[in-house]
């Protein structure tokens, strides 16, 4: 419902921007298609902006427990990626703590592992964008150990990231609070509207200004 509302608002804003541009610029018939193309490009650009601007997020804590099951050869923890509503996140937004970047993953290694400088903290706090379907994906293999995940509702769970063969262990973070989703949707619409209005009105201004003999 929220997603559909955002889409409808985007279309409405686009139509409104187009109508205003046509009304104010009064283009000749042959120029209308150019104007439509231009405003469409602004709309796509605004949509792209909406994807990039960081909005609301939840905080999740990951704690490497330095523990492993009996079969595991190590207690390492490797965060592979986060998925929010089918959007993949590999560049993590870390609020507190730091791990190592290893082969494109964000990894915790025990302090006694001499291949690393021992600077990794046991816990990190991640900022995860709000969304409906959110999962956190850990890399698994015979050297992986336990990690404790504290989700936004402060529910804690211990996950074993060990597996005989390399793979992925997934943990579902779940949906964000409804009010956060609503607020996030409103912010998205706001950013889109602001961006499109800014671009459209600036375009109208510079074009109109030139027509009036501003040159």
Partner 1 sequence: MLAEKIKSKCSKAFQNKWLVSFIVLAVISAVVLLFAISNLHGRIKTEAQILAPKAETASAPISSGVTYEQSFASRGTFNRIQLFFAPSGSPNTGATTVELYTASGNSITRWEIENSTITEDPVLLELDGGAQEKGDYRLTVSSDSPDPGTSAGIFLQQGSIYEGELRIDGEVQESDISIGLYQQTNLGYFLLTGILLLSLICLWVSFILLFIYKTALWKTAIVLLMGFGMAYLFIFPSGTVNDTWRHYITVYDYSNDLLGIPKDDSGTVMMRKSDLDTYVRYRALPNRNPCIDQYFEEFDEFSWQCADKTLVASGETSLVTRGNNASSMVAYFPQIVGLTVGRLLSLGAIPCIFLARFIQLVCVALMIGFAVKLTPVGKEVLLLLSLTPIFMQQITALSYDGVAFGFAFLLIALCVKFRFEKTAVSTESYIAFLFSTMGLAACRGGMYIVLLALLFIIPNAVLSLWKKLFAGLIGIFTTLAFYGNVYFNVSSSAGNETALNLGSPFEHPVQVGMAVVSSLIENVDTYVGGMFGQQMGWSSSTIPFTLTFAFLLLIMIVSLSVDGTPPTFSAKDKAVLFLPILFTVGICFFMMYVGENWKATVWNIWGVQGRYFIPVLPLAFLMLRNRFIVLKKDIRKIVIYLFCNLEVLAFFSLLRVYLIR
6: how many CB neighbours lie within 10 A of its CB? 16
The answer to whether the beta carbons of residues 76 and 144 sit under 8 Å apart is yes
Rounded distance between C-alpha atoms, residue 192 and residue 13, angstroms: 8
Q: 7, 8, 12, 45: which one contacts partner 1 (CB under 8 A)? A: 45
Residue 39, CA distances (Å) to 16, 21, 46, 101, 205 in order? 10, 8, 10, 42, 14
Rounded distance between C-alpha atoms, residue 167 and residue 171, angstroms: 13
According to the binding rule CB under 8 A, does residue 158 interact with partner 1? no
Q: Which stretch binds partner 1 (CB under 8 A): 42-50, 64-72, 153-161, 177-185?
A: 42-50
**Which residues, 108 to 137, sit near partner 1 by CB under 8 A?**
119, 137
Choose between 119 and 178: whose C-beta lies nearer to partner 1: 119
The answer to whether the beta carbons of residues 79 and 106 sit under 8 Å apart is yes
Q: Which stretch binds partner 1 (CB under 8 A): 6-14, 25-33, 152-160, 177-185?
A: 25-33
Q: 52, 103, 154, 178: which one contacts partner 1 (CB under 8 A)? A: 52
198: how many CB neighbours lie within 10 A of its CB? 12
List all residues 6 or more positions away from 173 whose beta carbon is below 8 Å from its beta carbon: 58, 60, 128, 134, 135, 136, 151, 152
Q: 110, 142, 167, 174: which one contacts partner 1 (CB under 8 A)? A: 167
Choose between 157 and 214: whose C-beta lies nearer to partner 1: 214
Rounded distance between C-alpha atoms, residue 141 and residue 118, angstroms: 22
What is the contact mask toward partner 1 in residues 54 to 93, using x (rule: CB under 8 A)? --------------------------xx-x--x-x-xxxx
Q: In angstroms, what is the minimal distance from the CB of 160 to partner 1?
A: 17
According to the binding rule CB under 8 A, does residue 174 interact with partner 1? no
Question: Which residues sit opposite 105 in a β-bridge?
Answer: 102
Residues that bind partner 1 (CB under 8 A): 25, 27, 31, 34-35, 37-38, 41, 45, 48-49, 52-53, 80-81, 83, 86, 88, 90-94, 98-101, 104, 106, 119, 137, 167-168, 170, 199, 202-203, 205-207, 209-210, 214-215
């Amino acid at each position: 419902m929220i997603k559909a509302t955002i889409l409808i608002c985007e279309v409405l804003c686009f139509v409104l921007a187009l109508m205003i541009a046509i009304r104010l610029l009064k283009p000749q018939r042959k120029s209308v298609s150019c104007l439509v193309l231009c405003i469409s490009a602004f709309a796509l650009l605004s949509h792209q902006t909406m994807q990039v601007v960081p909005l609301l997020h939840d905080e999740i804590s990951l704690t490497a427990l330095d523990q492993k099951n009996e079969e595991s050869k190590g207690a390492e923890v490797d965060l592979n990626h986060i998925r929010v509503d089918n959007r993949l996140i590999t560049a993590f937004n870390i609020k507190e703590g730091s791990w190592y970047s290893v082969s494109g993953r964000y990894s915790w290694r025990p302090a006694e592992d001499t291949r690393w400088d021992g600077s990794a903290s046991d816990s990190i706090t991640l900022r995860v964008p709000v969304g409906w379907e959110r999962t956190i994906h850990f890399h698994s293999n015979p050297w992986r150990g336990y990690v404790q995940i504290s989700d936004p509702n402060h529910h804690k769970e211990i996950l074993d990231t060990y597996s005989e063969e390399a793979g992925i262990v997934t943990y579902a973070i779940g949906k964000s609070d409804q009010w956060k989703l609503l607020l996030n949707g409103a912010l998205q619409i706001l950013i889109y509207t602001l961006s499109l209005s800014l671009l459209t009105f600036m375009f109208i201004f510079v074009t109109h200004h030139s027509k009036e003999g501003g040159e």
